[in-house]
Chains A and B, each alone.
Chain A
Amino acid sequence: MLDRFNAIKFVMLVSFVSSLVLALLYSTLINRVEENIRLDKKQSILRVIGINSSHLSSEEVNLKYKEHINEFVINTDGEIVDIPLSEIVWKENKSTGMTDYLYSKNMLQYLPLYKSKNPNGYIIPISGKGLWSTLKGYFAISEDKNTSLGIVFYSHKETPGLGGEVDKIWFQDQFKIDKGKKIFNKNGTLVSIIVNNRKNTDGKTHEVDGITGATVTSNGVTKFLKRDLERYKNFLIGQE
């Protein structure tokens, strides 16, 4: 009995000490880590419009970002409102993976929008569930508000080699402008772009190749890309 009590005491002590060390380390490094995450998001936004900034220093990335990207906030009717993007709180719904963008003052729904110069277009954040995790990324659309310009994911925990392939160039290149994928069909209905796991998608304007062995991730991308585009529908149809 005494043995068992000692064992429990020892395990608790070891756990306590290691959590203390971890907490200390975590709190000293958190600022740096958050700065890295912010920078990485900027690099992702640049990458989605085809600008590679991985070899640049943090100041150069910030400069390039300023040069190419303008940040806006729009309301659900698709009109630009006078709120800085930094006032918007990003809140992830843990069960659907959808991100809510709330104005910090009144907690109402708004939408972030990035406008890019050269190539001209718009960038919207996307997020949703894959198989294991929430995928977060950006989708860029050219200035006609119809042709896909690119897609990137900056955060996910899908299986490397399977669902993790969403990170890879071959997958993301399918959304590049030269592939001519479109989100609206001829009748002007928002059909989004479908990640098709079954058939050859050559020449199809609303489909890209899926990932073998990652049906759930592929279907997830299809689903949340459409859902997030729907939220921007008023902006995308308006003032065309």
Chain B
Amino acid sequence: MLRNKIFTDPLMDNNPITRQVLGICSALAVTVKVELAVVMSLAVIFVLTMSNVTISFLRKNIPHNVRIIVQLIIIASLVAMIDQILKAYMYSVTKELSVFIGLIITNCIVLGRADTFAMNNNVKNAFIDGLGNSFGYGLILILVAIFRECLGSGTIYGIPIIPKDLYDSGYIDNGLMLLAPGAFIVLGLIIWLQRTKTGYVEE
């Protein structure tokens, strides 16, 4: 596969969230605010890229029968690292993200890429694949968060964007957008839009 394709494929046509429908749990939970989605995306970019690189680097030495254990040790350590770093530098955001940083360990995208791609490809390609998939994840996360924060709270990244006149004439923020169903609806619409375009049908 071409290098470019490794990066761009998971961004759009083969996006881990919209095409493979992985990592949905966190995508629903942290997309109430754009800020949370951005920080979560950064954390996943770090974990996924680093785990892909480390595992690809060790791939020839990892004994086949314990490969999942080794992969999990590496992923869990990376998650513990990013958790500690965020606690030191972005404490208030960490509090809002609560358990979801720790739950990156169980994000299927990370283990999926480690076992299917990083175990079979060289470090450079694994790095690009990690970047591509985590960017694809982040892209959808932030997109969903923009819709939810805009419609649910009338702000984007904490900045009010709905004009006051609109509120005065009777406009009300849609509280449903702040709940999990709101995320499902937005995500469903994005998937619908994408599959209409690509013509992909689930078998």
The residues of A that contact B73 with a CB separation of less than 8 Å are: 11, 14-15, 18
Q: Is the CB of A32 within 8 A of B89?
A: yes
Known contacts A29-B87, A160-B99; A21 and B81 CB within 8 A of each other: yes
Q: Is the CB of B74 within 8 A of A22?
A: no
Checking A10, A36, A37, A157 against B99 with a beta-carbon cut-off of 8 angstroms, the contacting residue is A157
The residues of A that contact B89 with a CB separation of less than 8 Å are: 32
A213 on the interface (CB 8 Å rule)? no
Q: Which residue of A lies closest to B71 (CB)?
A: A14
Q: Is the CB of B84 within 8 A of A25?
A: yes
Q: Is the CB of A40 within 8 A of B180?
A: no
> What is the CB-to-nearest-CB distance from A176 to chain B, in angstroms, rounded to a whole number?
21
Known contacts A22-B81, A25-B81, A36-B91; A10 and B70 CB within 8 A of each other: yes
A6 on the interface (CB 8 Å rule)? yes
> What is the CB-to-nearest-CB distance from A38 to chain B, in angstroms, rounded to a whole number?
11
Q: Is the CB of B87 within 8 A of A40?
A: no
Taken together as a complex, chains A and B put the C-alpha atoms of A12 and B164 apart, in Å, by: 61
Checking A22, A157, A161 against B180 with a beta-carbon cut-off of 8 angstroms, the contacting residue is A161
Q: Which residue of B lies closest to A161 (CB)?
A: B180
Q: Is the CB of B63 within 8 A of A18?
A: no
Taken together as a complex, chains A and B put the C-alpha atoms of A19 and B81 apart, in Å, by: 10
Q: Which residue of B lies closest to A160 (CB)?
A: B98
Known contacts A10-B62, A10-B66, A15-B73; A164 and B87 CB within 8 A of each other: no
> What is the CB-to-nearest-CB distance from A32 to chain B, in angstroms, rounded to a whole number?
4
Taken together as a complex, chains A and B put the C-alpha atoms of A39 and B90 apart, in Å, by: 13
The residues of A that contact B166 with a CB separation of less than 8 Å are: none
A3 on the interface (CB 8 Å rule)? yes
Chain B, interface SS category: helix
> What is the CB-to-nearest-CB distance from A7 to chain B, in angstroms, rounded to a whole number?
4
Pick the most buried of A6, A19, A160: most chain B CB atoms within 10 A of its CB.
A160
The residues of B that contact A10 with a CB separation of less than 8 Å are: 61-63, 66, 70
The residues of A that contact B80 with a CB separation of less than 8 Å are: 22
> What is the CB-to-nearest-CB distance from B129 to chain A, in angstroms, rounded to a whole number?
21
Known contacts A7-B63, A10-B62, A160-B99; A22 and B70 CB within 8 A of each other: no
Q: Is the CB of B88 within 8 A of A18?
A: no
B69 on the interface (CB 8 Å rule)? yes
Taken together as a complex, chains A and B put the C-alpha atoms of A10 and B98 apart, in Å, by: 33
Q: Is the CB of A29 within 8 A of B98?
A: no
* A-contacting residues, B88-108, CB 8 Å: 88-89, 91-92, 95, 98-100
Q: Is the CB of A18 within 8 A of B95?
A: no
Q: Interface 1/0s, chain B 148-168, versus A by CB < 8 A?
A: 000000000000000000000
Q: Is the CB of B29 within 8 A of A160?
A: yes
Taken together as a complex, chains A and B put the C-alpha atoms of A33 and B29 apart, in Å, by: 25
Q: Which residue of A lies closest to B29 (CB)?
A: A160
The residues of A that contact B98 with a CB separation of less than 8 Å are: 157, 160, 164
B65 on the interface (CB 8 Å rule)? yes
